Amino acid sequence: MREIGHFIGGKRVAGTSGRSGDVFDPNTGEVQAKVSFANKSEVELAIANAEAAQPSWATVNPQRRARVLFKFLELVQREFDNLAKLLSSEHGKTIPDSKGDIQRGLEVVEFACGIPHLLKGEFSDSAGPGIDLFSLRQPLGVVAGITPFNFPAMIPMWKFAPALACGNAFILKPSERDPSVPMRLAELLVDAGLPAGVLNVVNGDKEAVDTLLTDPRVRAIGFVGSSAIAEYIYSTGCAHGKRVQCFGGAKNHMVVMPDADMDQAVDALVGAGYGSAGERCMAVSVAVPVGKKTADVLVEKLIPRVESLKIAPSSDPQADYGPMVTKAHLDKVKSYIDVGVKEGAKLKVDGRGFKLQGYEGGFFMGGCLFDEVTPAMRIYKEEIFGPVLSVVRAKNYEEALRLPSEHEYGNGVAIFTRDGDTARDFATRVNVGMVGVNFAIPVPLAYHTFGGWKRSGFGDLNQHGPDAVRFYTKTKTVTSRWPSGLKEGAEFVIPTMK
């Protein structure tokens, strides 16, 4: 049985806590590895390594730090296929989807390679008589990231790439469900020239998380996961004087106007709703057709598409999606289908009984489609995080606009229409952080920021883009005057620039 420990001080180390968890092969249901859960002393060892390594890393000039990331890009590209297979084997997403996971992470690494430009401060010459003002962006010190199972390559890179580029040391606590890719990325960073101790990986559970949250040497923490845990990490981290950014759950709506290209809308809903078995924070889980005719046509077109989804082992190149990550998660998603039926929603496609011959022990589930879902139902209010799409019929545009705007989550939303005025009005007025116009999964590119509103995001700064540099640095402002030989005497009033 393969044993997965931690990555501390530039190398893999065995766990010493005596506690561990199972890493499954979602295709078969078999346990393929054991991952150690770090105790407080192991996390403190990682923090100590980071604290010792960070000052010298911060003195490396920005372009040389960027060269490490350039080399890391080269090494990841060299191992791209193997990393995708490894990711797929633990998560269950298809190989093409796994490659997308890695690629979207690398795009943020590419953005971070431009750190010499991004760290430039501001300068004001002669702000007063002989006085210059300038600002410096300096690293925070030791920072940490707590990342989810659904993007085991992308989200860690979103966190550590800008943090390292800014001169910080980083501690990664990845998901214990699929830890192998984050461990390998850490090794590749060291191979790329990152000094030992600047990046450490600790696997574990709440004990590891709480240690990072309460240790005063950790200056900032980023998190992606469920909203309940995001709120806990945000409140606990802030109470301990840390800078914190947390991204939680989602209930992403896609509004379909009567003038939309219906075939395009159906393609978008099927891909965004069922890709990666719905295990995406940006998955579309609610379709909002406007008007009865639009709703009837949309549902009629969706039913055969959902019924014909190809669900297969994650290694099958023809699969639309593979298994879910664990049996516990599979059972939770199935329980939501039971709830929806009891609540009175119309289950048009039922994927609960799906079985794949030869993979009966795998965590597979067919696509599910609900119609006539109402905002009062749990399946509308709560994040299901599975291959389940709910159709909520809206009588008119204003009702469709209110649904995502009034939902407690505000991660992403989309509208499909041919009308530019409608699209512009929707993008301006909808109370959601990321908006797609005829684009179902509106994940911004690396040089813009990613982040939701309401219970989808806690904290003032988003992920990647300019906000990442702001989050991982502190600003120091210097007011400078060189003596000119004039003796002005003591001043007892606040300085001004008259």
Q: Which residues are catalytic?
A: 281
Here the contacts of 365-369 (C-beta below 8 Å, separation 24 or greater) are 365/277, 365/311, 365/323, 365/324, 365/330, 365/333, 365/334, 366/309, 366/311, 367/273, 367/274, 367/306, 367/307, 367/309, 367/311, 368/306, 368/337, 369/299, 369/302, 369/303, 369/306
- Determine contact, residues 202/4, Cβ cutoff 8 Å: no
**Residue 74: other Cβ atoms inside 10 A:** 11
345 φ, ψ (degrees, to nearest 5): -70, 150
DSSP class of residue 365 equals -
- The label of the residue with tokens 């890393």 reads 57
- Determine contact, residues 139/165, Cβ cutoff 8 Å: no
364 φ, ψ (degrees, to nearest 5): -95, 150
Tell me how far the alpha carbon of residue 482 is from its chain's centroid: 48
Tokens of 15: 């766990």
Tokens of 81: 């296929």
Within 13 A of 345's CA, how many CA atoms are on the CB side? 29
Tell me how far the alpha carbon of residue 48 is from its chain's centroid: 27
34 φ, ψ (degrees, to nearest 5): -115, 130
- Tell me how far apart the alpha carbons of residues 112 and 120 are, in angstroms, rounded to a whole number: 13
What are the residues whose beta carbons fall under 8 Å from the beta carbon of 443, sequence distance 6 or more? 104, 282, 412, 434, 450
Reference 196, options 222, 170, 166; nearest CA is 170
What are the residues whose beta carbons fall under 8 Å from the beta carbon of 419, sequence distance 6 or more? 257, 259
End-to-end CA distance of the chain: 74
